[in-house]
Structure 1
Amino acid sequence: MARTVRSGRGSKDSFARARLVFPDGTSRVTIVRDPMPLYVERGMGSYLFDVDGRRFLDLNGNFTTLIHGHAFAPIVEALTSQLQRGSCFANPTESEIELAELLCGRIPRVDRVRFVNTGTEAVLFAVKAARTFTGRTKIAKFEGAYHGAYDWAEVSLAATPDNWGDPSAPKSTAIYRGTPPSVLDDVVVLRFNDVEGAHRLLSLHAQKLAAIVLDPMPSRGGLIAPSADFIAAVQKTANKNGILVIADEVLNLRQSFRGASARYGLVPDLVTMGKIIGGGLPIGAVGGRKEVMTVFDASSDRPLLPQGGTFSANPLSMIAGLTAMLHLDHAAFAHLEELGNIVRDGMRRVISSRGAPLCVTGAASLFRIHPMPRIPNDFREAFPTPAEAALMRRLTHYFTENGIILPHGAAASISTPMNRVDADLIVDVFTGFLDRNQDMLDAIEVRTRSEPSADPVRER
């Protein structure tokens, strides 16, 4: 199989310029350097083209945002038309009503919506809404799950074996130095798919818990499917104790026509949305039960929870998002599901035939490869040893060499422009990796699970 050169002259020159203006030469922590970033010149359909003219099948899609790929013609046309009429206004537009109507009509338990600019803001305001509605201050979340760059939501995002504490009572850990101790005290950390632990810890802190924030299949947490018993335990315990359930579907709304909660039987009080609902432009949204969403009601002199934003519900994001969602019909989701199954099943067959110590998780248009023979049950089980982390870096590097952008430590995503040829290519490249890296595969067959990795990755 033909290989590409890792870093071309154009990317090297761009990175040299970037290092003069950015703290580490990049503008966000999620930029991959191998050993430096690939600078993109343009995207078209399911492919990226870098500044050196090389083409890559894009399985990142700006961290799962671009479900229709790059430069999706209907979105380009709609945005061009809107730009000629204006990019943003202090007044509302009809496009925000249309997108809200679509979301309320499609996503269960979304009776009312408020638009914001990012997934982080969506979670931030969902947590605030839960606190306002219940009068309580604490929240519960799951170890390793990413919910944006909000102090409380970041607790135990980057926990490691060195600090994550007792399996039955995970410790609240900080992601950055200077995190106020009060933030850690106000977050109850749970383990994903731990039925008994979720029931016990939620019950123990019930009188102070405003909400539990749950991504039905957390990407950074391993893209692991929730068990039916786990979803039922969380739902029952929360309902019994007046704890609101916040379903964070910023990433996983793409799991079905009606979202991820509907797929896994979760019945939330609030839903946070983003990524695919913006058609490639910045967006976030909080939706939920009418009774809870009344905290945002500003028809009186002062709402219980003020929420605004200069660019919230801007017409460009509204138009792009509406166009993207209208083209995500049942046929589109069936196509994504089919390709996702081809990739996951194909990789699993290759793993089985080679006896490789790897596994594949995910659903619908998402997948993630793990350097371990058994599918992990939660973040702790998915946490890589140094040898496993090195193998995954090599896997990402190999895919790049062979013309595919594969996210490291995050969900890989299928987009609607992809086809069977693209799916087969992914499996073929994965097969080539296994055949050419037997020495590294052998090194991870015997491993010490307590060894921490020095390679934490954040995404979204």
Structure 2
Amino acid sequence: MFERAHAVFPDGTTRVTIERDPVPRYIARAEGAYLTDVDGRRFLDLNLNFTTLIHGHGFEPVRAAVESQMRNGTCFANPTEAEVELASLLCTRVPRLERIRFVNTGTEAVMFAIKAARAFTGRSRIAKIEGAYHGAYDWVEVAQASVPDNWGPPDRPAGTPYYRGMPASVLDDVVVLRFNDPAGARQLLSRHGSDIAAVLIDPMPSRAGLIAPAPEFVSALQEMAREHGILIISDEVLNFRQDYRGAAARYGLQPDLFALGKIIGGGFPIGAIGGLGDVMSVFDGSRGRPLLPQGGTFSANPISMVAGHAAMEALDQIAFARLERLGDGLRSRLVDAIARANAPLSITGAASLFRLHPKPTPPREFREAHLSPAEAKVMKEMSRFFAANGIILPVGAAACLSTSMGEAEVDAIADALETFLAENSALLEEIS
């Protein structure tokens, strides 16, 4: 299949995020917590399409809702009751989510949240966190892939381009902050505050280490934002799965705007921009052309709406509490296994998310989470070992649990790590 794919895709895949070792795993079917590939191999799935499938694969309430909607139509140029139902559910749960607009991807959600902040403030620049991933929009890709050779001094992180040909003007419009550096955030936001429309923050940046925000960092951002008239955008496309009310509420962040996606679509394409009513009024076209026009042929399509409503309705407070216990139990098991082996590894994450680091101390920000070649080798071998033992463990990104998992899956993950540590002491000595 990979050979066939090379005839139609530039590198044999259609997403840069596809892992290959040396070729991708092509999936034939999936159910619950498990995938089966075209060669008949069965895997416990800790990727779940990059954390999207919080109920696992083939969740029956989603299946039933989609099958029913398919009989009534898949997309229209008109609104439907389904979009109102999903919007009402989300706005009822999440503090400061007073109004909402649906789009098709997390990238679109972030893009329109930034545009909304610009339209509301009349400013063009943004601030973002070094190493944080926010999708494919030029301004949010700045400093996404910085490395020690180009990331600049600690007090002035460099705005590095993500791809060849990125306009220099884009780099000039982005102020880069280091995560969990309150003093640095205060200094940079004080210096540039009058030009900045918004601070964009993922409350727990996945690719930048899946690290929790320090309370003093959250406080610094909020104080500087209020002082300088800067909006705060909470990108919870991934981390909305942390809590019934979302990640911002969990960590005491008070955003003006949200970018949502992934779990709110029940496994179908979706994104959403939401926030305070006065800020969201930039989308209001009831009296003529809005300050920010926003459309989309498939925005709020009824398939995504009914799938998302079924998924989110099933994610009640009891479901979130169970996932929290499952995640806490797993992280505890992994920490114990590392301690028993005296291995130079650590764990970050929260709720149903976790990430293994080939470092003895959990990193506190992106630069500390950056992998040396030897550390990257350990993670590659660990992922390969897990796959050989029937578990898909993402490399360099968040691993996650789903409501379809239980103690048997926790045991399997913990046992796999324990065995890997026992059988790879020589490899681990290279990073000790």
User: What TM-score comes out, normalization by structure 1 length?
Assistant: 0.94
Report the secondary structure of 1:153's partner residue.
helix
Report the secondary structure of 2:141's partner residue.
coil
Report the secondary structure of 2:111's partner residue.
helix
- Counterpart in the other structure of 1:171: 158
Runs of 4+ in 1 over 6 A off after TM superposition: none
- Counterpart in the other structure of 2:398: 411
- Counterpart in the other structure of 1:291: 278
Unpaired stretches in structure 1, ≥5 consecutive residues: 1-13, 446-460
Match of residue 133, structure 2, among 140, 146, 151: 146
| Pair 1:353-2:340 in alignment | yes
Once the two structures are superposed, residues 214-239 of structure 1 have per-residue CA deviations (whole angstroms, 9 ceiling, x without a partner) of: 00000001000111111111111111
Match of residue 73, structure 2, among 70, 83, 86: 86
Shift of 1:435: 0.6
| Pair 1:200-2:150 in alignment | no
| Pair 1:327-2:314 in alignment | yes
| Aligned amino acid, residue 42 of structure 1 | R
Report the secondary structure of 1:95's partner residue.
helix
- Counterpart in the other structure of 2:327: 340
Report the secondary structure of 1:41's partner residue.
strand
- Counterpart in the other structure of 2:300: 313
| Pair 1:44-2:34 in alignment | no
Shift of 1:319: 0.3
Match of residue 50, structure 2, among 42, 59, 63: 63
**Aligned partners of 1:147, 1:298: CA distance in 2, in Å?**
27
Once the two structures are superposed, residues 117-142 of structure 1 have per-residue CA deviations (whole angstroms, 9 ceiling, x without a partner) of: 00000000000000000001100000
**Aligned partners of 2:285, 2:329: CA distance in 1, in Å?**
49
Shift of 1:371: 0.5
Q: Superposed, which structure 2 residues align to 1:93-242 within 5 Å?
A: 93-242=80-229
**Aligned partners of 2:84, 2:350: CA distance in 1, in Å?**
31
Structural RMSD (CA): 0.5
| Aligned amino acid, residue 430 of structure 1 | L
| Aligned amino acid, residue 67 of structure 2 | T
Shift of 1:270: 0.2
| Pair 1:28-2:15 in alignment | yes
- Counterpart in the other structure of 1:8: none
**Aligned partners of 1:299, 1:184: CA distance in 2, in Å?**
35
Shift of 1:342: 1.3
**Aligned partners of 1:338, 1:207: CA distance in 2, in Å?**
44
**Aligned partners of 1:375, 1:199: CA distance in 2, in Å?**
25
- Counterpart in the other structure of 1:273: 260
Shift of 1:338: 1.0
| Pair 1:434-2:431 in alignment | no
Shift of 1:424: 0.9
Match of residue 242, structure 2, among 246, 255, 258: 255
| Aligned amino acid, residue 268 of structure 2 | L
**Aligned partners of 2:30, 2:227: CA distance in 1, in Å?**
49
Report the secondary structure of 1:166's partner residue.
coil
Once the two structures are superposed, residues 14-65 of structure 1 have per-residue CA deviations (whole angstroms, 9 ceiling, x without a partner) of: 1111111110011110000001001000110010010111110000000000
Report the secondary structure of 1:35's partner residue.
coil
| Aligned amino acid, residue 132 of structure 2 | A
Count of residue pairs the alignment pairs up: 432
**Aligned partners of 2:403, 2:57: CA distance in 1, in Å?**
10
**Aligned partners of 2:235, 2:149: CA distance in 1, in Å?**
28
**Aligned partners of 2:115, 2:105: CA distance in 1, in Å?**
15
Unpaired stretches in structure 2, ≥5 consecutive residues: none
